[in-house]
Each structure stands twice: as C-alpha cells, then as structure tokens.
C-alpha cells in the first residue's frame, strides 16, 4: 500500500482481538489509514483503545449491521470523523455458535435459522456495500473487500447449509458489484479464508488446519495481508476476484496419506 494520500476505512466484525477484522484494521492503520471499526458489543472500544495506543486514528461503533439503522450509524461515524469512506472491509458474520444462528442440513434447518444466518453472513455485506458505493463512485475511488470463506464458494463440509449459501452469495455479490462499479474507479474483491486459528476456532478446526499441505492453520494476520493488498491503491486493476487463503487445502487431491 501507499501512504501518498491518507485514506479512511470501515472494517466490520472487528470486535475480537484475535480475529480477522481487527487484524485487518490494525494492518491498514499501521499504513496510515484512518479506521472505523464495528462489532455488536462494547468490546469494540477495547479494540479502538489498542489501535489508538499504536498511533492509529480510530473510532468504534456498536451496531447490528442486519439493521439499516446500524449501517447508517457506522457510515455516519466515518463521514463525521474522517470525511468519507475510501475502503470498506466487510468481515461481519459468524458461523453457528448459538441457537440464533444454528447450523443444520436443509431438511433440519428452520426457516428462522436459515434467515438469521443469511442475514448475518450475507445481508450485512449487501447493506454496508450499498451504503458506501454511491459515495465512492462519486469520488472516483473506492476499495471494497468482502470476507467470504472457502466453505461455500470452493468447498463444503456437512451440516451447515445456510452458512455455505451465504458465503457463496458473497462471491456472487462481489462479482456483480465489480462490474457495476469498475468504470468509476471502485474495485470489489473477496478473500476466502480456510482453516484460520482465531479465538473462535474449535479443536476440530485446528486438527483440520494441521492436515493442510502447509501443516497448520492460518493466522488472522495472514488473511489481513491479502485484505490490505486488495484495499491498496496498487490493486487498481484487480476487481471481481476471489483470493483463497487456505494453505493449499482446497487444491490438495490426495488426502489421508
């Protein structure tokens, strides 16, 4: 990335100190980008304090991004604090960790649980993207980076159809938006993390990470570097693309050796 012009970014889903969102905000901020970070809980202010202690100009907003009012509050914070939004990193979302976002096969998943997972993992990306795209097009510059997953777009595991459908939907949204915004200098790309060792990773996920060709799970920072590249001014001719960050796991043909 370049620091020739100071940019402003929104990074969603940045509440966890060990998560991809915070890693991306930290890396962007280290390069001089001003950042607004958001999560659904007050812990976002702990992350803001950490960023500020590192010399990053940062603001935080507690918001439910499935609600338009929450989206509006985040964009208003960026506009009021930094004059606009140059970069959007859509990282908000979650796998099935509570009854509200339960996993299940198509035959077992309720309509409410399906909708909750789609809203949390796909609609949030749509609403945030819709909120900033017009401003970016008017300015003639923008970088949107969506955090998808290998689960859905390129691979799958059993028993979580809504999460897979949402993450695949992010890639379709990314490609369609890239076509719509390319002429205005706005790029839209996605990253697809594989087995990443964050605070929410289960022991099973860590075992799966150890079985990749690299021999370990990835780190949040390794995903953040891909995000920062796509968010940089130098990535101006890359749009509508999906970068997989999975230690070659999804291309490995021989398994169980």
Quick: pLDDT tens for 128-152.
Answer: 999 999 999 999 999 999 999 999 9
The average pLDDT across 62-83 equals 97
| Residue tagged active-site, from 101, 157, 163, 225 | 163
Residue 61 predicted with pLDDT over 90: yes
Cβ atoms within 10 A of the Cβ of 67, count?
A: 14
pLDDT, greater one: 159 or 88? 88
At 3, is the pLDDT very low, low, confident or very high (cuts 50, 70, 90)? very low
Helix ranges (H only) for 62-187 are 68-82, 111-118, 124-139, 161-181
75, 131 in Cβ contact below 8 A? yes
Average pLDDT of the chain is 93
Strand 186-193 and strand 34-39: pairing? unpaired
Residue 107 predicted with pLDDT over 80: no
CA 91 to chain centre: 2
Active site includes 163?
Answer: yes
List pLDDT tens digits, range 116-129. Answer: 999 999 999 999 99
List pLDDT tens digits, range 5-31. Answer: 589 999 999 999 999 999 999 999 999
Tokens of 234: 């130098």
User: What span, in angstroms and rounded, lies between the C-alpha atoms of 63 and 7?
Assistant: 22
At 101, is the pLDDT very low, low, confident or very high (cuts 50, 70, 90)? very low
User: What span, in angstroms and rounded, lies between the C-alpha atoms of 39 and 52?
Assistant: 17
148, 192 in Cβ contact below 8 A? yes
Map residue 160 onto helix, strand or coil: strand
At 102, is the pLDDT very low, low, confident or very high (cuts 50, 70, 90)? low
**pTM of structure:** 0.94
The average pLDDT across 34-52 equals 98
User: What span, in angstroms and rounded, lies between the C-alpha atoms of 215 and 72?
Assistant: 42
Q: What pLDDT does residue 159 have?
A: 86
At 257, is the pLDDT very low, low, confident or very high (cuts 50, 70, 90)? low
Element housing 147 (H / E): strand 142-147
At 99, is the pLDDT very low, low, confident or very high (cuts 50, 70, 90)? very low
């Amino acid at each position: 990335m370049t620091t020739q012009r100071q940019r402003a970014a929104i990074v969603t889903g940045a509440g966890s100190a060990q998560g991809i969102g915070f890693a991306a905000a930290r890396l962007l901020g280290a390069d001089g980008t001003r950042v607004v970070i958001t999560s659904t809980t007050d812990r976002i202010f702990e992350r803001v304090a950490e960023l500020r202690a590192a010399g990053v100009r940062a603001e935080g907003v507690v918001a439910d991004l499935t609600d338009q009012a929450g989206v509006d509050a985040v964009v208003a914070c960026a506009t009021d604090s930094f004059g606009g939004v140059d970069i959007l990193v859509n990282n908000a979302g979650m796998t099935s960790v509570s009854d509200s976002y339960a996993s299940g096969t198509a035959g077992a998943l309720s309509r409410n649980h399906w909708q909750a997972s789609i809203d949390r993992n796909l609609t949030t990306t749509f609403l945030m993207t819709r909120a900033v795209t017009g401003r970016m097009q008017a300015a003639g510059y923008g970088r949107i980076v969506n955090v998808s997953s290998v689960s859905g777009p390129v691979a799958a595991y059993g028993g979580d159809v809504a999460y897979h459908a949402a993450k695949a939907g992010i890639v379709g949204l990314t490609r369609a938006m890239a076509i719509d915004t390319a002429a205005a200098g706005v790029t839209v790309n996605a990253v697809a993390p594989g087995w990443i060792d964050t605070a929410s990773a289960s022991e099973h996920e860590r075992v799966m990470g150890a079985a990749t060709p690299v021999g370990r799970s990835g780190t949040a920072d390794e995903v953040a570097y891909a995000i920062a590249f796509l968010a940089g001014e130098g990535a101006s001719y890359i749009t509508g693309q999906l970068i997989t960050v999975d230690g070659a796991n999804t291309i490995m043909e021989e398994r169980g050796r």
